[in-house]
Amino acid sequence: MTLTPAPKPPTPSPPGSSRSRPSAFRGTPTRRHRPRLACDPQMIAEFGAAPPGPPAPRPARGALSCWQSPPGPLEPATDQTGEEPPMSMSQNRIARGAVWVIMGLVVVGLIGFGSFNFGGGGQSIGRVGDTPVSANRYFRAVRARLDAMERQFGKRLPFAQAQMFGIDRAALETVLAEVALENETARLGVSVGDEELAARIRDIPSFAGTDGRFDRDAYDFVLERSGLTAGEFEESLRAEVARTILQGAVTAGVAVPPVYVDTLYGYARETRDITWALLDETALPEPVGQPDEAALTEYYEANPAAFTLPETRRITYGWLRPEDLAGNTEVAEDDLRTAYEARRSEFIQPERRLVERLVFPDETQAADAAARLESGAASFEDLVAERGLALADIDLGDVTEAALGDAGAAVFALTGPGTTGPLPSDLGPAIYRVNAVLAAQETTFEEAREALQGELALDAARQALAGMMPDLDDALAGGATIEDLGTEFGVTVGSLDWTGASFDGIAGYDEFAKAATEVSADDYPAIQMLSDGGLFALRLDETVPPKLQPLDAVRDQAVAGWQAAETRVRLETRAEEMLAQLAAGETLAGLGLSPITETGLTREADVPFAPAGMLEKAFALDPGAWSLATADNATAVLRLDAIAPADQTTEEALGLKAGFAGRTAQTLADDIQGAFATALETSAGITLDQPMINAVNANFQ
Are residues 295 and 161 part of one domain? Answer: no
Number of domains in the chain: 4
Question: What is the model's pLDDT at position 179?
Answer: 92
Task: Find the mean pLDDT for residues 181-204.
Answer: 86
Average pLDDT, the chain: 80
Query: Does 647 have pLDDT greater than 60?
Result: yes
Sign of CA dihedral 78, 80, 82, 84: negative
Q: Which uninterrupted H or E stretch holds 150? A: helix 135-153
Are residues 432 and 469 part of one domain? Answer: no
Are residues 540 and 567 part of one domain? Answer: no
Q: How many CB atoms are closer than 10 A to CB 251?
A: 19
Q: Name the nearest CA neighbour of 187 among 284, 279, 55, 319.
A: 55
Task: Find the mean pLDDT for residues 292-303.
Answer: 95
Provide the residue count of the chain. Answer: 701
Render 438-465 in DSSP notation, one character per residue: E--EE--HHHHHHHHHHHHHHHHHHHHH
**Comparison of pLDDT for 18 and 468, the residue scoring more:** 468
Question: What is the model's pLDDT at position 40?
Answer: 32
Are residues 164 and 217 part of one domain? Answer: yes
Query: Does 43 have pLDDT greater than 50?
Result: no
- Domain membership of residue 671 (yes or no) is no
Residue-wise pLDDT tens digits, 111-132: 434 445 554 445 889 999 999 9
CATH of residue 362's domain is 3.10.50.40
Q: How many CB atoms are closer than 10 A to CB 470?
A: 10
- Domain membership of residue 159 (yes or no) is yes
Question: By 3-state DSSP, what share of the chain in percent is helix, strand and coil, each rounded to 5?
Answer: 50, 15, 35
Are residues 454 and 425 part of one domain? Answer: no
- Domain membership of residue 651 (yes or no) is no
Are residues 141 and 241 part of one domain? Answer: yes
HSE, side-chain direction, 13 A CA sphere, residue 503: 1
Distance CA 292, CA 298 (A): 10
pLDDT above 90 covers what percent of the chain?
39
Distance CA 590, CA 586 (A): 7
Question: What is the model's pLDDT at position 71?
Answer: 33
This prediction has a pTM of 0.46
Are residues 187 and 140 part of one domain? Answer: yes
Q: Name the nearest CA neighbour of 313 among 486, 550, 514.
A: 514
Please list the alpha-helical segments (H only) found in 478-519. 482-489, 510-518
Distance CA 660, CA 258 (A): 11
- Domain membership of residue 699 (yes or no) is no
HSE, side-chain direction, 13 A CA sphere, residue 60: 15
How would residue 475 be classed by pLDDT, with cut points 50, 70 and 90? Answer: very high
Q: What is the side-by-side order of every strand in the sheet holding 124-128?
A: 131-134, 124-128, 686-688
Are residues 185 and 326 part of one domain? Answer: no
Number of H helices, E strands in the chain: 24, 19
Are residues 173 and 95 part of one domain? Answer: yes
Task: Find the mean pLDDT for residues 550-576.
Answer: 94
**Comparison of pLDDT for 228 and 426, the residue scoring more:** 426
Q: Are 195 and 24 in contact (CB under 8 A)?
A: yes
- Domain membership of residue 73 (yes or no) is yes
| Domain end among 598, 618, 644 | 644
Query: Does 328 have pLDDT greater than 80?
Result: no
Are residues 319 and 302 part of one domain? Answer: no
- Domain membership of residue 346 (yes or no) is no
Q: With left for phi above 0 and alpha for psi between -120 and 50, is residue 19 left, alpha or beta? A: alpha
- β 308-309/547-548 pair status: antiparallel
Amino acid at 457: A
pLDDT above 70 covers what percent of the chain?
82
Q: What is the DSSP letter of 397?
A: E
Q: With left for phi above 0 and alpha for psi between -120 and 50, is residue 16 left, alpha or beta? A: left
Are residues 59 and 196 part of one domain? Answer: yes
| Domain end among 502, 520, 545 | 545
- Domain membership of residue 488 (yes or no) is yes
Q: Which domain holds residue 457?
A: 312-331+450-545
**CA distance to 135, 344, 698, per residue, from 127 (Å):** 11, 65, 21
- Domain membership of residue 692 (yes or no) is no
Are residues 108 and 231 part of one domain? Answer: yes
- β 352-359/430-438 pair status: antiparallel
How would residue 108 be classed by pLDDT, with cut points 50, 70 and 90? Answer: very low
Using CB atoms within 10 Å of the CB of residue 94, give its burial: 0 to 12 exposed, 13 to 18 middle, 19+ buried: buried
| Domain end among 387, 414, 439 | 439
